[in-house]
Chains A and B, each alone.
Chain A
Amino acid sequence: MPQIEFRAMGCQMLAIVEADEARAANVLAHVPRWFAEWENVLSRFRADSELNRLNASAGRPVRVSETLWQVLEKSLEAANASNGLVTPAVLDALETAGYDKSFERIGRDSSRPERHSLLAPNPRATNFIELDATTRTVRLPPGMRLDLGGIAKGWSADQAAQRLSQVGPALVDAGGDLAISGALANGARWQIAIADPFEATRDLERLVLRAGGVATSGRDYRRWEQDGKPQHHIIDPRTNRPAITDVLSVTVIAPTTSQAEVAAKVALILGSRAGLAWIEARSELAALLVLEDGTMMPSTRFDQYVWRETFIAEPDAIRSLTFG
């Protein structure tokens, strides 16, 4: 099946579309440019990104692009749906924990001096962001800076899959966040795997999915040391520190990739018991939690996505049954 691989947003990207070679090649060639454009708007690691210009203008109203507006709306919806557990207002906390440059430049084992955030933890900080939809204008409270990291990636995967679906069924993998536009032409479901957080080259589980989003949030990869203490990139807004949790990684299946991204982060921050309960309370979600000790905790709806080996009768056997 035609596909394209490239790097963007600090991650490995993959886009696949089921269509004839010529049409698929034509549309797939555009995908890296789409991601480059979104990255120019949404990245906090690009000094001249639109997001950084907005962050630098906190306290003043700023008219923003359609892309930034849409992702900002998504992130505020996420903050609302998660009671502030997944919020874009964690950039200061991320930098305080040592995530102040792209992950490739941090280096996993570099020891960095410990810093302390000057901002008090406030999961409801986004309530103070002012939005004016008529003029697409945003005003951040003074001192607030946003990070759209995970949700920007999920939104980008959803957008790309939707655009590719004009040509045929598509799958977009944005650094491990997957968006699937619809069933394959023969009605079959897409086969995807969950990488083992303890050994990324192995598959932990095999899934089949017709459409929707799958995202994994974990502290198995983006981690480093600061003043000898282990750190990771998932901030608990209640403490403004990397989340202390018994969960190593969470994979969520949801109607969209950005929803899956948010839900996976919530479950990881809440920990295994409360996290699984949060997932179970939402009928549109299914999840697999992997704990620090290797225990796997699937939600009740997860099983319906697990791949099962099935069998059919050979045509000869069918003929002999029919005609004797």
Chain B
Amino acid sequence: MTNTTHKSASQSLIGIKVLIMTLSLAGTLFGWVVLAAGQVRDAVWNQPVPTTNVPSSVTAPRQTPSVQQPQSPALRSVTGNFQPRARTRSSR
């Protein structure tokens, strides 16, 4: 009966020690997580503010699209100015 009582007290002490160690480890991990989150936040906040690129199509006056739009600004119309040399019509 006495042995049983002694054994039980010893086991309780070990349990308390394990609990304290677990709590300590958890606290350390939590601290690391908080620290990492802070670093990430600082990194984000220290980024240069990006320029807002508004597409020219939003700001420019709306135009009726032509049938064939150039696919790239490197393309240019070679016959954009249609200038007829003469007009066919009924005799006049």
Contacts and interface: CB of A to CB of B under 8 A. Distances in A.
Interface in B43-76: 66-68, 70, 72, 74-76
Interface in A306-322: 307-314, 316-317
A177 B78 CA distance: 28
Contacts of B82: 191, 206, 307
B7 interface: no
Contacts, number: 106
Nearest to B86: A173
A193 B84 contact: yes
B83 interface: yes
Interface stretch (A19-27, A80-88, A111-119, A219-227): A219-227
B29 to A, nearest CB: 52
A309 B72 contact: no
B92 A12 contact: yes
A252 B61 CA distance: 41
B2 interface: no
Nearest to B84: A193
Interface residues of B, number: 23
Given A249-B90, A309-B68, 19 more contacts: A171-B86, A173-B88, A175-B92, A178-B88, A191-B83, A191-B85, A193-B87, A194-B88, A195-B87, A200-B92, A206-B82, A206-B84, A222-B91, A309-B77, A310-B77, A311-B75, A313-B72, A317-B72, A317-B74
B91 A251 contact: no
Interface of A: 1, 10-12, 14, 16, 150, 153, 171, 173, 175-178, 190-195, 197, 200, 203, 206, 214-222, 249, 251, 307-314, 316-317
B59 to A, nearest CB: 25
The B interface, classified by DSSP as helix, strand, loop or mixed, is loop
A42 to B, nearest CB: 14
Interface of B: 66-68, 70, 72, 74-80, 82-92
A192 B86 contact: yes
B89 A218 contact: yes
Given A191-B82, A311-B68, A317-B72, A176 B88 contact: yes
Best-buried of A173, A308, A311 by chain B (most CB within 10 Å) = A311
A192 B84 contact: yes
Contacts of B92: 11-12, 175-176, 200, 221-222
B74 A218 contact: no
A309 B80 contact: yes
Nearest to B72: A317
A176 B90 CA distance: 6
